[in-house]
């Protein structure tokens, strides 16, 4: 059998055989054995952010966006006012879901090729006392920007505002330490840098604000406070859990810990990133972002200026060689994206670059240089 295609995307990701094999067993959702897996998983997740003393973690069925929506609805009062720091597509999604949740929402816009700016945030908070919460995407994978979490956290803390962090694409790879970084909620998911499979999100909620969250959510399924209280009382999920996803994530976290946790994962992804950047430069490809603000998670490249280039053809040819690329998310210029995360190393990245080199040859493109 041919190997699975390697997913060079921001999730779902390429997973290990051990993680896949964990899903071959069926589990009773109310059974003590499965409840023990859930409890162990929640404890392991808290350990990643050193959050046992300060936070609880609440798992939730569905994709990561389900959990972002749940966090906003659970944390923000009905009469609250959310400020979304916007430097990309996923920030805009956060603003949209906040509005759909019936919460007042203001968007503070930044260039998609730049980080959000803590000084501008400070001015906005001082100029509008009605703002109660700030939403920030830690790694905005629209372009691949790593936003300054610590600085934004410091501004929110100094001004007495709640911070909700979408850490979907950073959690497990980029350091997040709850002992020094204050946030009311932090959201991540199973199918990203922990290298599990998609289908489950989880939200860390600061213990100090947990009790105030009771009754805030207008959703039954997405009420994180209710999910937390029920889980503490019964050890069970309120509604049918994604059992296979949960046990796969538990297995993936065991491998994450054995590898050396967050620092080791960051080191491997950084090596992947460096291999990718170096190889693509030789082909003429130019990254969209300044390396100083680039997260080693997913890289946006300018499309070649050669008129023979089309992403559809480029994608199909790379796919036929075993690599799944990702379309661009920017609106003004043509780009495509290549992920550096998943159960892969520099060898696979070298193979991917080689596949793209052969693809350019097939298309008759001598250089991938942009306009």
pLDDT at residue 330 in the model = 86
Question: At residue 220, does pLDDT exceed 80?
Answer: yes
What mean pLDDT, rounded, does the chain reach?
97
pLDDT at residue 295 in the model = 97
Q: Which CATH architecture has domain 17-258?
A: 3-Layer(aba) Sandwich (3.40)
Domain with CATH 3.90.1150.10 in the chain: 6-10+260-363
Domain 6-10+260-363 listed as CATH 3.90.1150.10:
yes
Question: At residue 34, does pLDDT exceed 50?
Answer: yes
pLDDT (mean) for 343-355: 98
Question: At residue 1, does pLDDT exceed 70?
Answer: no
Task: Check if the beta carbon of residue 314 is closer than 8 Å to that of residue 328.
Answer: no
pLDDT at residue 2 in the model = 57
pLDDT, tens digit (0-9, with 9 covering 90-100), for 227-240: 999 999 999 999 99
Domain with CATH 3.40.640.10 in the chain: 17-258
Q: What percent of the chain has pLDDT over 70?
A: 99
């Amino acid at each position: 059998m041919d190997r699975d295609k390697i997913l060079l995307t921001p999730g779902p990701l390429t997973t290990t055989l051990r993680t896949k094999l964990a899903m071959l067993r069926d589990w009773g959702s109310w059974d003590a054995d499965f409840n023990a897996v859930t409890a162990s998983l929640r404890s392991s997740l808290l350990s990643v952010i050193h959050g046992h003393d300060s936070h609880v973690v609440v798992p939730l069925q569905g994709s990561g966006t389900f959990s972002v929506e749940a966090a906003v609805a659970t944390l923000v009062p009905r009469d609250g006012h959310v400020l979304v720091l916007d430097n990309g597509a996923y920030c805009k999604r956060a603003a949209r879901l906040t509005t759909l949740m019936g919460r007042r929402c203001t968007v503070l816009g930044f260039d998609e090729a730049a980080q959000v700016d803590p000084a501008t945030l400070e001015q906005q908070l001082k100029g509008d006392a009605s703002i109660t919460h700030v939403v920030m995407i830690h790694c905005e994978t629209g372009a691949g920007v790593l936003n300054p979490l610590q600085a934004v956290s410091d501004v929110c803390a100094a001004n007495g505002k709640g911070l909700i962090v979408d850490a979907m694409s950073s959690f497990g790879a980029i350091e997040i330490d709850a002992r020094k970084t204050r946030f009311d909620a932090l959201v991540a998911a199973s199918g990203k840098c922990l290298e599990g499979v998609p289908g489950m999100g989880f939200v860390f909620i600061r213990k100090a604000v947990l009790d105030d969250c009771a009754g805030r959510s207008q959703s039954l399924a997405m009420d994180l406070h209710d999910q937390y209280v029920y889980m503490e009382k019964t050890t069970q999920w309120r509604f049918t859990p994604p059992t296979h996803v949960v046990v796969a994530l538990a297995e993936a976290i065991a491998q994450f810990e054995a590898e050396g946790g967050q620092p080791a994962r960051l080191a491997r992804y950084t090596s992947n990133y460096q291999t990718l950047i170096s190889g693509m430069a030789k082909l003429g490809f130019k990254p969209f972002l300044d390396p100083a603000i680039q997260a080693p998670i997913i890289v946006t490249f300018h499309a070649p200026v050669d008129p023979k280039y089309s992403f559809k053809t480029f994608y199909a040819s790379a796919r036929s060689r075993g690599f799944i690329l990702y379309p661009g998310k920017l609106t003004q210029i043509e780009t495509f994206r290549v992920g550096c995360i998943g159960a892969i190393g520099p060898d696979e990245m070298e193979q991917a670059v080689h596949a793209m080199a052969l693809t350019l040859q097939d298309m008759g493109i001598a250089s991938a240089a942009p306009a």
